[in-house]
Structure 1
């Protein structure tokens, strides 16, 4: 019997790479995305493409209304998406997002009898996000094993974050070797309805720099 894993899939290149890694390790993957009130739906369309192309057994979108609490440039239209640069925690940080996402992934994993959850967080390029640090992943894994029926009954739950210490170039090189089609992905914080990128936000900058450093052609369509 195949081992099962829930894989968080956002539509971006990191999660596409993580899905490919999980599949290559023999997991039967259940891809999970969130419609959480983000600025655009292009990433959800991309998440579905990535899940289907990546061989996920099932793809599910969970609806959450994080826009109702705001506090981020990604969920509050009154906060502008910044150009590249700045210090401290970026305004694109969505309060508690990864904690909420992992909690729901944990619930689905219990239902599926899956002991593994994969998430594409990265502490190198996104060091300003508190919920992308190794300490957070370790703490959540401890919580997962304390807070679940599966954990209490001895089914140790594992939170995998295989990209957490890789540069964007290393992530792209890893995915390219696994056959990931990055043309299916959307990374831009303010992509248009066709999924075209702005080319100016932090995410676009990191993506462009990553492809250049990896020596891989950038398949991203830009609207400006």
Structure 2
């Protein structure tokens, strides 16, 4: 029980700092990718240092939570998403949405219903995922032999069509890492799309059911 309390206190105290670190990580990585060839080496090196510093902070947080949980290896199995994010830190900015929700819950009643929160947070997660996915695939594809994604705009268009499960085929990654990123975006995109459509359908059923309950007998 003491381990649970210590873990809860640690998570409560580190939510905002980690959210800030996630923002720093994404910003510094974006500046390095988009500023390549336009910024000085000193600025790019600073962004690289900030990126690795934020990543190290994520690793330290994971290690502390692993120790405080008292579960050791079962902690890894019970928190698969945290483990994946540790090795794929570009997904870490998605935690900003989760941290924002947790802070609002502690300071009062959430300002949206459950259905609305799922839709809004899924939408925000989709935007963050699309931006990070476009950055990462552009980072891997630019300059590759036979690459079709020659600009960040191409990467954004490709990411949007992939997340929407449209897949026009006008742009396709040619590198191994680019294709791995594509597989991840497809999988997460399907999940987020299913969450939004399923929640919207559930909300409609709830509304219609509530209207039927309020309707006078015999109508």
Q: Normalising by structure 2, what TM-score?
A: 0.24
Task: Tell me: higher relative CO, structure 1 or 2? Use CA pairs within 8 A at least 6 residues apart.
Answer: 1
Q: Normalising by structure 1, what TM-score?
A: 0.24
The higher radius of gyration belongs to: 2
Please identify which structure carries the higher helix content: 2
Please identify which structure carries the higher strand content: 1
